Structures are given as structure tokens and as C-alpha cells.
Structure 1
């Protein structure tokens, strides 16, 4: 895409842990994924490098700090895509930062110039020009996505993971527009097929831009069927299956264990959300399935689940005290903790657990249980898709990291 920072996006896949593909209840089956390229003035003609493309997303132009420009190849690419029988969608370079008024002005200019049916995708390409205000950037993006929706099109937000996490409140975007992200994260090598071991770990991803294929063309996979929007009444070619030599999405299989049951992965699931739901540690969950937390999860996949020790012991103890799958004793208690220093909110009650967020002094955490183990007192914060954990006291020195109420 225009002004794309390819190095950063390539490095993203080297450090991203693949916890999940965040798709919604309307997602297509894994075998029904669609493939296509995205284009701008840097590609004079549309390509068909993958030989199985069914859609194209083209830049119509954009706004750079109040300067609106048009991409002169837009009409040509639209015609070429239509000649190929592809579904055609549009993206707009959005360098308006937190200026909601400028975002509206940009869309007032471009929406009447679209060459696609109602319902098709209009994506805001937000990868440069963000302001210092995460709230302001998010407000401007939501203003634009609402205007796109109210104009009869499918809004999406394009960027790459580090930029989104640094400058946008992604949870607010997904709360109003579920499964609306188009995320870049480039895999190693030049295969035209996506390698899901390199999937960027973000929730709500509907389209993954997985390769720039040597700088010639950006390759994308539609994970949810979103590129069919606007073309539901027109006959479309059936998606082709991946050949036997492409990266496999099939999990390793091992004989079932006597102390396990099974769980079918649902849209939006992740290793940590499934593990927390069943009172397990996500590393243990991955291990008993012969995999790692960097392995891809996709809807319909069957996992082995260890017996839910947490749930069973909660029931036996009237919900007041129980042991989790790691043997830690937890006590049921509701309250609010206020931090007096910088603290880590983690996915597990271990100092080695992955960090969700860095809490600043004065942050409040509502909790529903506490535990003392491994040198710290921990509290558990209920979240929409699992739990977060905070160490609130050093057990050895008795040093508190905040106060309770």
C-alpha cells in the first residue's frame, strides 16, 4: 500500500504470538477462504499471481493532513478486476489523525466516486499521521467507519499490529464494528499461500495481508467471507482448495487422554480464553494437544481439555475456595484494588505470564478472587474473554503495591 512500512510489518510476524484468529459468528469455514490482491498506483495493472484470486481491493486516493489526492489507476484497476470476474472493493489512505472533521471531508469527496456495489468494502488505511491522542485517533476512525456504514458500504480498518496497538483503541473499534480489521503481517518466503504460523495475534481480523510477494503485489486472505459483501446476488467462482504441499492448518493428533474431554473451537477463541474458561493454564492446554501457544486456532477445530479442577472444587466448596489446574489456592472475594505504582496486568498469575497491559499509578482493578503463591498475592480480574491477573503484594517483604476497598 501507499507509504507502507514493509520492514516493520515483516518484523511483526517474527515477534507476534499467534493466540487466535478473531473472527465472528458469520465467519466462513477454514476451507472457504478467499484470496485476492490490493492495488494502487504502484501496480499499473492487476495481477493474478496466485491463480485463485476472487477479489481485489484498490486505492481510490487519500488524505494527507488535509490534502486530498486521487489515485489515477483506480478506474483502470476496477475495470480489470471486473473483466477477471473478481469482486471489487476500495481502500482510502487515511492520514487525518484525530481530525474527525477532516475524515468526514475526505469521505464526502471519495464515497460518491466509488466504482463498486453497495455493501462492498471501503477500508480506511490508517498507518501514518496518527496524533498523540489514542482517544482522538479512535474517535476519528469511528466517525469515518460510521459514515461508510451509513452510506451503505462495509467499513474496515487497515493497518499493521504495532501501529494499531500504539495509536488506536482497537477494543472500541471492535465493540462497534466486530471483525472489521484488515491487518498486515508478512510471512517469511515468497509462497503465494498463507502460512498461518505467521498470523499476527489480534482479535477481530477479517482479512490478513500475509505477503507483498517480492514487492510486486500484496496478497490477502479473506478469513470470514467479508469480500463477498455487495456481491451476494451475483454468481461467484467457488474458492479453490489449497494444494497438499501448502502449509497445513490441521492440528497434530494424539490418542485421547483418560482425564480429558473435548472442546470445539469457536470464532474469536484463543489459547488463553479457552484455558481460562476451563480453569487451565494456556501452556498446559497447548501441551496436552501436542502444540504450542504459537499454533493457529481456527473455528471447528477440536481440542482436548483437562478435567476442570477449578469448577469442580468451586462447586464442592460453595464457591468460596478452590484450586486451579496449577495447584494454586484461590479465594472468592469481590472488591476494587487501586495501584500506587506501575504494575503489569497479565494473562496468568505468574511473573512469566504474558502482559495484557501496563497499569499506571491510580489504576483501578475490579477483582473477583485472590491467591497467594510464588512470592506474591494475586488478584483476578474478570474480562470479556477470560481473566487478567495482577500481583498486588510481595509476600516476603509484605510490601503492598496499592490499596483495597
Structure 2
């Protein structure tokens, strides 16, 4: 943790909420107590289910241990639905699974919408399906919400202000609350806790929605540690270059989703046009600056610039035009087993898919292995 020290930053993002799944393995009450006392965590959101058949094997123990640690508890369902009927069926499955695992009535049971199934649908279809899921989940006594990425919110689906849990991982976390009008902003997927192994998804809460609409009764016992640990967590391992430089990059990308083409390599520069999903973009240069990796597209009257994703070089919005070999994740697979099977290191496998080794992978998900 010492290598990640941020220094005196009064505007550091808070570690209000952690979400956990089978990817984190068994989590003890002591680990949750440490998160509360040393890092100021107030709430934990536990994976409950996925699609229409998968039940997270650690949901029940996570729920019990989070409650024993005195933290607020919520759940989420990883959505695979592509139709309204499937959304309702998945909501019924998630609600029943949550009840059996011990998720208390009144908790949030969010729909996690970020899969290939939704990427292939129109915004209107996703909106209809999400609304059907959330309406159905309320029949079980749970409160509903949508979790998705910042690039999908109000692009692939509608996430209104005063709702939503949005994931966006900036280059340097400081001085800005990216989604202050939404319930929660997930700002890192690699946060470290003192007695817990691996990286965790952490979020800042902007409302009391995920703390059951009540004033938090969680009182960290070590306020100095909370302050210091939050500062440390805010420092990403990717450091800004002292002098960012353009480098040659002759590549062809195909957009996975609609992307704004800017007049300059900055999110504040004017937008030339919005390139629709499926557009082929040929680039000649690339640079990392302002928290993003930018590429330059030669145009008949100059250049256009688009962000390929966060500054750690992950291609969030685009995919390379090169031919790849894919592997479809099966139940029981892990980063390690897939990497070993294909002669890769876990880090290489994860990075070429725009992820980290701490990112959860799911059955039926496709990964680039060549």
C-alpha cells in the first residue's frame, strides 16, 4: 500500500461500498470488519446470480458475514437477458435465489447490465428489458437499480439522474465526483484491503439508497487509518507521463459502440461527429493524456480524435481490426486455467482483453487468446 500513497488530497474518492462475488472467494467477518474500521466501508453489495441458472456459491456466506460485521448489505444480478420475457424470468430467478441466500427485504437488488447480450440490443430494447426486470424484482420486496459502465449509461440504456450505479475508472482519482447525480460511482476495480487478498471493486455513494435510506450507523474505530487508506487507494498504479508524446500507430479499429469524434485529444474539445457502432477507424498516431488513451484519425480536412478507453491502454470502446482467436468461458474457468491452457500468463491474457486479473469473468463470455 505504501507505493500507492497519494498524499494530502482532500477530494479523494471514498471507499463507501465494496462489491464482491465468487471471484473474491470466501470472505470472513474479520475481513469485512477491517474494511469498516480501517477503510470506512459502509455497505457491501454481493453477487447473487447470473442469467437464469447460475447461483453465486458465496452469496449466503457473504451476506451473513457482512451483516455480522455491521455493514449494510445489498445484492446484484449479472444480466444475460435480451428480451422482456427473459428479463422477467431472470428477475424471478434472482429474487428467489436472493431470498434463499438470506438477502433481507428492503435491500437493493441491482441488475448488472454490461454483457454481450445487451450490447447487441437497441437502447429502447434495453430500456424496456431493464424496466421489466426492476418491476419484477420489487415483487420480492427488494429495491431496484441499474449498474452499468459510464460508456453505456445513456448510450446503450437510459440511466436517469437520481438512479443508477455507474462504473468509470479515471486515470487519477482526485478532485472530481464523476457521477454525483447517480446513487453510486464505482471508481476502481483494483482496490486493496489490508487483510484481504486481491483487488476489489469500490464505489463512492452519492445518496443513501444503498444504505437502506437511513443514516449510517457504521462508525469506523480508526478514523486516522480510514483517511490515510482512502488516500492510498485513490492513487492508480498508472502514473501520468511528465511529458506525453504522440507515437506512431497505424491500426484499424472497429467501434463496439457509438463514440464521439473530437476536434482535439481532450474530452472538452468540440465534437465533430458521433461515429456509430460498427464504424471502421484507421489511425496514424496515439497518445496517453488527460486520463485517456487517444488515437488520431486522418480525415480529408485534417484530423479527428477519439478515446479508446482509460489511460491504462485498455480498449474500452474499440476493438482491433486484426483477426483473433477467441475462447468461450465455461463454468469453473479462471484467469489461471484459461491462461495455462493457451500458453499465456494471466496478466497477458487479461490485458489483451482490456481487463485485469481481478476482473470477474463469466460463463459464455468470449476472451481473446490469440
> Radius of gyration: which is bigger?
1
- TM-score (norm. length: structure 2): 0.49
